[in-house]
Chains A and B, each alone.
Chain A
Amino acid sequence: MHLSPDQMILWHHGFLKLNATIAYTWALMLVLVGGSRLITRKLSTGLERSRWQNLLEILVTGISKQIEEVGLSQPQKYLGFLGTLFLFVATASLCTVIPGYEPPTASLSTTAALALCVFVAVPFFGIEEQGVRNYLKSYTKPTFIMVPFNIISELSRTLALAVRLFGNMMSGAMIIGILLTITPFIFPIIMTVLGLLTGMVQAYIFSILAAVYIAAATRVRKPKAEPMQTIPA
């Protein structure tokens, strides 16, 4: 009973090791990129469109609307990053219906990598929107004493993102593994369905939290409004 797919080594040659996490991650990337390439080969802008194009449009407009609701006024700038986060984690969790598959997000390395991407993206988008000085000044809000606490909160949010996703995926895989040795038939199926549900919710949570952090970093502070002038009678 292994803790994560990192421990299933498929091939090694001296120093390099190919474990199941890397293999499944690349397989997922192939599926996502290849599938999108195939579907978007002949896009149609009229009323007649293929089913798969419709599915992609639903996904893209849905994600875009969610990003806008979180508070980012130009969702197309962030759609690539946040949409990819959601799609990767969601597909990784959906594919658990395939027997013999373990989600690569059940390994702390994958989730830590995704959380590090968010950690780098937040200042990147913040500086792109506000400029370096204003972004760094936002660390001193509300007072200057809060600078170390703001930095610590950035680091701990990244850690929380990684461990939350890892814990949810790993617990799903482990519960199914344990149950398969006890009651082999019906109960593991129910737990797989529960695992699918939590996987989808965690994918949504991961991308929404990333969107909220980016929104907090790119919020342009408006200058104080001028005092109202009295209307002459």
Chain B
Amino acid sequence: MDNMTIIAVASIVIAGITISLGSIGPALAEGRAVATALTSLAQQPDASATITRTLFVGLAMIESIAIYCFVVSMILIFANPFWNHVIAQTAGK
């Protein structure tokens, strides 16, 4: 396999693996966070504004891990510097 094929196969496969493995952790963590928030809402309905706001902030921080994985896989597919370099080389030849 020449350089172009290796780079293409590696980018595509890793992009898929990145986003699929990278969403497992945040999904589980968000489920736990919401479950705990629901329990505490049931125990203290007066504090619902604080609990809801803290829940959303916490969910955004957890979500950003999944977003990092998504950004990496998008870069591998759409803005891949190795692929651009190899394409430029082949175009120049």
| Chain A residues close to B by CB (< 8 Å) | 1-3, 66, 69, 160, 163-164, 166-168, 170-171, 174, 201-202, 204-205, 208-209, 212
> Smallest CB–CB gap between B18 and chain A, Å?
13
Main secondary structure of the interface of A (DSSP, over half): helix
Beta-carbon contact of A205 and B57 below 8 Å: yes
- Does B13 touch A at the CB level, under 8 Å? no
The answer, among A69, A167, A171, for a CB contact under 8 Å with B53, is A69
Beta-carbon contact of A201 and B68 below 8 Å: no
- Does B67 touch A at the CB level, under 8 Å? yes
9 contacts between A and B (CB under 8 A): A69-B50, A163-B64, A163-B67, A166-B71, A168-B67, A171-B67, A202-B60, A205-B57, A208-B57
Q: What residues on B are CB-neighbors of A204 within 8 Å?
A: 56
The answer, among B57, B61, B71, B78, for a CB contact under 8 Å with A1, is B78
- Does B87 touch A at the CB level, under 8 Å? no
> Smallest CB–CB gap between A108 and chain B, Å?
9
Given contacts A164-B60, A170-B74, A202-B60, contact A208 B67 (CB under 8 A): no
Beta-carbon contact of A163 and B71 below 8 Å: yes
Q: What residues on A are CB-neighbors of B79 within 8 Å?
A: 3
